[in-house]
A and B are shown apart, each in its own frame.
Chain A
Amino acid sequence: MEREFRCPSCGAENAVTNPGILMKVCDYCKTALYWDKESALRAGNKSLDLPQSPRFKVGAYGKLAGKPFAVLGRLTYEHDSGFWHEWFIEQEDGSLLWLTEDEGELFIERPLTLKNLPPSFDSIKAGSEITLDDKTAVVEEIGYAKCIGGEGQIPFLVELGDTYPYVDGASMDGANSFGLEYDSQGAPKAFWGRIVNLKSAAPKSLARSEAEAKQSELIQCVNCGKPWEGKRVDNTKMVVCAACGAALELDGAETRVVGLNTGDAPIFTFGVGVKLEFDGVVYGVMGRMVYVAQDEGLEYSSREYILYNPAAGYKRLSEESGHFVLSEVTHTHFRYPESAGRKTRVQIGGEKFQLFETGIAILRWVDGALPWRAVTGESTQYTLFIHPPHCVDYEITGNEVELFRGTYVTNGQMQSAAPPDWAIPTPLGIHPCQPYVAAPWLRNLWKIGAIFLALNVLLLIYAAAGVEKQVLSDTVTAEQYKAGYTSVPFTVAKNGEVLRVVGKAPVNNSWLGVDVGLVTPDDKVVNEVNHDLYFYHGADEDGTWNEGSSVFSSHMRVAKAGDYKLLVRGEGGSGVQGTGPARQESVTITLFRNSRMPGYFWGSILACAFFLLLEPLLRWRFNRKRWRE
């Protein structure tokens, strides 16, 4: 049921279309209009000129999750480091929804009636967990927000110009958001909602568009008087004067200096306004920052580019020693483990990350236009978790906790993202979230190694499992081997057959030299093995000792098949320098055929293992270097 009335301030006609509406900002003079039960109108403060949104406009129609809606009104709040819009939309069935738009992010929220009072404003800390009845969430931001204005129809009463303590955050899994507004009277108002995935929400036609400059409104530097000539968008909170380096906060109706760049301007790879394309979305470089962190007395600087696309929102591109990481805000929280140290594993959104480093980063330089206030000299406590090529940066700045999920951008990807022929620096060293990328010649090399390793192991098993066949086993006495003992003839069935000769003698503090010859029927020696058997033992000041062996084993290859016999000769003795008496120890000679030497496979297995393990070894070395650097 539409209700019409005249603005008590300017007399203009205004209409309210939804019965849930409790206030209206005059369409003409921007005065806040309130009415009570008796329908008496009261004029409040006037709204400031509000920044436009790239997505919504009061009076516009659209679709959300396939359902049509109409934008009835909005409120805009300003806080320490930026501002947000609250859009009030009416669905087809007349129900109202809140859409909060903050630094390019979207949250769909509804009022939440709490059974239990939330903690007091003063007791809440950024990063701490908070319980809202049966819901658990993490506090991301605490502060004071000033309602700087509104337009259209608004479903609750807000005094324009008033300041409210607020708390907001997200559920642990990052799917939901919450907000708490601590009014001076009554219980805090709670809101619970859903975080909208902008990738799925962005219309295709907008996804490829780039940031467009807001041409209206001249900004003049209050430090040097020169006009701001750079690009900015409607939700720009701060710009930096290119002439004097003064950071100018665009605070509602006024512009004021909040910081100043000093020293020489750092060298950036990308200038403000440069267009970079990632995943088919063109972003414009809106602002640039230089952070400096100290570690063991050394200073490490990193550059950050604030990228913006009206449909996709903001992204951060970090540059460090020629390495690039593209990040965006995430609300997926995790429980910070107690006694966390380097390499501590943390589960973040279903993925396992490792704590890489923690430290303090100081903002040394800022230029361009930013959607929040960033003042040189401000410090941020950061903790970096890595799961290459991804990383999560947990940052605490003042009363705000932010999480950024980043993905490493390779040099090739960066070349593709940048304008043609843009000079991209060569990466130096290894970046914490740089993934190991095997050289093309190394890729799948392990498969070749594995196939041949398996083949060699099978052949090794085959060779080791071969059963030798005993040809003869003769015990040869001292008299026989001194004179030359000849065995009974035996047949070698095939050319190249391998025989094994095993000799065993009961040497005891004595030695026995044995020659075993392979003899043809016409008494020609065609092959020969020779061994010294000795076994000594005794005791001295160090205790008992023994050395040598009473057994030998040797292989011989028979080139030609045929009949053969063994000829055994030997001599033995004892004592020092051959002064002891000769011994009469017999020797047992055993001959085997079909013999194999599987030990040869160890060399080939080693070669296969080398190719199998080369890539994993290089990966291991890369990771070790990552953690050492």
Chain B
Amino acid sequence: MVTVFKTIVCVFLLGVTVTAYGGACYGWFLTNPIKKPVSVREGSRYRHTPYLFYGRTHTGGGYSSGK
């Protein structure tokens, strides 16, 4: 039972190490907002929504997401 527990711990720590390595060096967890390529003419999915800081605001715009 003790051996099983320690094996589980080893596997777990190996898993988190590999995960951290993949995330750090291969960008495994970087998300891509564009699920499939979008034509430049279609524009970005982003909208620069108004920000309000001490009463100051800005609005923005950008590409609309492709379908």
Chain A positions within 8 Å of B9 at CB level:
445, 448, 611
Chain A positions within 8 Å of B32 at CB level:
526-528, 556-557, 559
Chain B positions within 8 Å of A463 at CB level:
21, 24-25
> Contact partner of B20 among A527, A530, A575, A604, CB < 8 A?
A604
User: Which one of A66-74, A175-183, A592-600, A616-624 is at the interface?
Assistant: A592-600
Chain A positions within 8 Å of B14 at CB level:
452
Pair B17/A524 contact, Cβ less than 8 Å: no
Pair B46/A530 contact, Cβ less than 8 Å: yes
A443 to B10, CA, bound (A): 14
Pair A511/B20 contact, Cβ less than 8 Å: no
User: Which one of A155-163, A213-221, A237-245, A513-521 is at the interface?
Assistant: A513-521
Q: How many residues of B contact A (CB 8 A)?
A: 47
Most B Cβ at <10 Å: residue of A466, A524, A574: A524
Q: How many residues of A contact B (CB 8 A)?
A: 61
For residue A625, give the distance in angstroms from its CB to the closest CB of chain B: 24
- DSSP class of A's interface residues: helix, strand, loop or mixed? mixed
Interface hits, A515-541 → B, CB 8 Å: 515, 517, 519-520, 523-528, 530, 532, 534, 536
For residue A272, give the distance in angstroms from its CB to the closest CB of chain B: 42
Chain B positions within 8 Å of A574 at CB level:
56, 58
A555 to B25, CA, bound (A): 11
Q: Does A440 contact B (CB under 8 A)?
A: yes
Known A463-B24, A530-B44, A532-B51; judge A578-B13 contact (CB<8 A). no
Pair B37/A532 contact, Cβ less than 8 Å: no
Chain B positions within 8 Å of A536 at CB level:
53-54, 56
> Contact partner of A525 among B37, B50, B61, CB < 8 A?
B37
Pair A557/B51 contact, Cβ less than 8 Å: no
Chain A positions within 8 Å of B33 at CB level:
527-528, 530
For residue B43, give the distance in angstroms from its CB to the closest CB of chain A: 8
Chain A positions within 8 Å of B55 at CB level:
576-577
A448 to B25, CA, bound (A): 24
Q: Produce 1/0 per residue, A332-363, CB < 8 A to B.
A: 00000000000000000000000000000000
Interface hits, B1-41 → A, CB 8 Å: 1-2, 5-6, 9-10, 12-14, 16-17, 19-21, 23-27, 29-30, 32-34, 37-41
Chain B positions within 8 Å of A611 at CB level:
9, 13
Pair A557/B24 contact, Cβ less than 8 Å: no
Known A523-B40, A596-B25; judge A608-B13 contact (CB<8 A). yes
Q: Does A121 contact B (CB under 8 A)?
A: no
For residue B32, give the distance in angstroms from its CB to the closest CB of chain A: 5
A496 to B51, CA, bound (A): 34
Pair A547/B63 contact, Cβ less than 8 Å: no
A528 to B40, CA, bound (A): 11
A547 to B12, CA, bound (A): 42
Binding site for A on B (CB under 8 A): 1-2, 5-6, 9-10, 12-14, 16-17, 19-21, 23-27, 29-30, 32-34, 37-41, 44-46, 48, 50-51, 53-63, 66
Given contacts A511-B60, A600-B29, 6 further A-B contacts (CB under 8 A): A509-B56, A515-B44, A528-B44, A530-B46, A557-B30, A597-B24
Binding site for B on A (CB under 8 A): 440-441, 443-445, 448-449, 452, 455-456, 459-460, 463, 466, 484, 496, 498, 509, 511, 513, 515, 517, 519-520, 523-528, 530, 532, 534, 536, 547-548, 555-557, 559, 567, 569, 571-578, 596-601, 603-604, 607-608, 611
11 A-B pairs within 8 Å (CB atoms) are namely A441-B6, A449-B13, A496-B27, A513-B61, A517-B40, A520-B37, A528-B33, A532-B51, A574-B56, A600-B20, A608-B13
